[in-house]
Structure 1
């Protein structure tokens, strides 16, 4: 990780859960971290007094292209640009394909697919423009992006995560065609205990607690591992499953 000390990493969905854990893990590694979220006060609370890295909390909404572009503009004007992008922001909805509400489907796709794509485009264009050839783009995906839908209520979420997997491979091929050595990868965890369970009914937090599950710090450690490999190595996909998981 020494090569990234002082470099700029942008983390979306940074206010809680996996995003918050990634922010603090990168701060401990000495990176300049831009934590992006709507709840900016929660991001500010992630500052670590004894960590060598520096935190910048920026308000941003990944479902809004205008908001995303504003965040990148601030980073370019104040920090020079993004060297690492962690696309962590994600939402879910209990919206079955035969009865779900259009607004729920749209919200999931706007954040998990379109927002991720816009952030990726802006980060990669910024890196290419500045000649950054050791940058990194990491998507926080899910085991549900690798397996068939496990239940009708999570179909739209699972579909969005399958899209993320396809988008990652498209990005890799795009960068190969551009002869860029910017690396890409995804971390695909199973059940992780985060706030996302608070908004579920069928898969409630109580149900999740009874399941085999991991903690956000486990996903953050995988991100650090991916970043820490030699530039000749591209760790492309890390799948994390807790022991005893049924999916």
Structure 2
């Protein structure tokens, strides 16, 4: 991580779960982190759990990735206040309890699509433009999922996947599209998709679900993998990293 010491990472969805674990790990690795979330005040609360000598390396930014205006404003702030984003962790994502065939679910479906696909695209766009303007060989990490590569059937996990797997399949395609676009733009910015299996976070918000005898990853496991993929030598790019808890059946 030496090349990233005192460099700036933007982390979306940083107020809980995987996003907070990643933010903490990057701060501990010597980076300056701008945590982006709708609940910026939650990041400020979590910040106090860091060692006192690390707290000034974490900065909260109120940003709803459903809003293009919020995203543009956030990256303008990062440019003006911190010199620009060198690393983007596109982590923000939601899973809503609905079914594709259920009537009256329009807004739930739009929320998932807008957060998991559209917000990810706009964040990658703004981060890359910041990197390009400054001629930075940065890194964009898109948080994907194992359901972005196939939809589990007959497995005792979520009661409904609805549009979530479709959005994560989109992340798989978008990451490869972005990689090709970066090559065509003669850029040395790296892009990585990280696809975890089941992670013990708020996305599994059903207490009964958490009691089921299925294996879970912890948020820190994903954070460690983020540190790993951005720590590779300049000539090495990890395109896709799949992480599963031992014993997972899908």
Same fold (TM over 0.5): yes
Aligned to 2:23: 23
Runs (5+) with no aligned partner, structure 1: 199-203
Kindly report which structure 2 residues correspond to 1:82-121, keeping only aligned pairs within 5 A, or say none: 82-99=85-102, 101-121=105-125
Kindly report which structure 2 residues correspond to 1:42-121, keeping only aligned pairs within 5 A, or say none: 42-47=42-47, 48=50, 49-51=52-54, 54-99=57-102, 101-121=105-125
- Which of 195, 216, 236 in structure 1 is aligned with 2:202? 195
C-alpha displacement of 1:118? 0.3
Distance 1:135 1:194 in 2: 28
Runs (5+) with no aligned partner, structure 2: none
C-alpha displacement of 1:53? 7.0
TM, length-normalised to structure 2: 0.92
Aligned residues: 241
Describe the superposition over 1:105-155 as per-residue Cα deviations: whole angstroms up to 9, x where unpaired. 1000000000000000001111111111x2000011111101125478213
Aligned to 2:33: 33
- Which of 197, 209, 214 in structure 2 is aligned with 1:207? 209
Q: Which runs of 4+ in 1 moved over 3 A?
A: 50-53, 149-152
- Which of 172, 179, 183 in structure 1 is aligned with 2:186? 179
SS of 1:196's equivalent in the other structure is coil
Distance 1:82 1:216 in 2: 23
- Which of 242, 247, 250 in structure 2 is aligned with 1:244? 247
Give yes or no for contact 1:38–1:61 (8 Å, CA) kept in 2: yes
Distance 1:93 1:149 in 2: 17
Give yes or no for contact 1:11–1:19 (8 Å, CA) kept in 2: yes
Give yes or no for contact 1:139–1:164 (8 Å, CA) kept in 2: yes
Describe the superposition over 1:27-84 as per-residue Cα deviations: whole angstroms up to 9, x where unpaired. 0011010001111121113332244870111111011001111101111110111100
Distance 2:234 2:181 in 1: 18
Distance 1:212 1:72 in 2: 37
Aligned to 1:139: 142
C-alpha displacement of 1:5? 0.5
Two-structure CA RMSD over aligned residues (Å): 1.5
Aligned to 2:131: 127
SS of 1:155's equivalent in the other structure is coil
Give yes or no for contact 1:141–1:187 (8 Å, CA) kept in 2: yes
